[in-house]
């Protein structure tokens, strides 16, 4: 879980910090810490994950509908 970034030769502190922040973002360390900040009951976790899956599914359906719009028949 700890992200270690060794200092390269001829690298400034700002560049090293930038690399470190990028490594932390890529490892999702902050997200993991925030999720474990407070205890969440197992039923709440299941409910939240189910709601997220439902939202993802609805979004997928919406993109499928937009991909192939219905054909409009012309009366001419």
pLDDT at res. 2: 62
| Residue corresponding to tokens 């039923």 | 43
Calculate the CA 11 to chain-centre distance.
Answer: 30
Using one digit for the tens of pLDDT, what is the confidence trace for 18-63? 998 998 888 888 888 888 999 999 999 999 999 999 999 999 999 8
pLDDT at res. 29: 87
pLDDT at res. 49: 96
Where is 67: in which H helix or E strand?
Answer: helix 42-67
């Amino acid at each position: 879980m700890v992200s270690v970034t060794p200092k390269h030769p001829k690298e400034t502190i700002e560049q090293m910090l930038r690399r470190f922040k990028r490594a932390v973002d890529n490892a999702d360390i902050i997200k993991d810490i925030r999720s474990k900040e407070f205890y969440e009951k197992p039923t709440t976790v299941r409910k939240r994950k189910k709601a997220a899956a439902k939202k993802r599914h609805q979004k997928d359906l919406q993109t499928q509908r937009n991909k192939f719009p219905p054909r409009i028949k012309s009366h001419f």
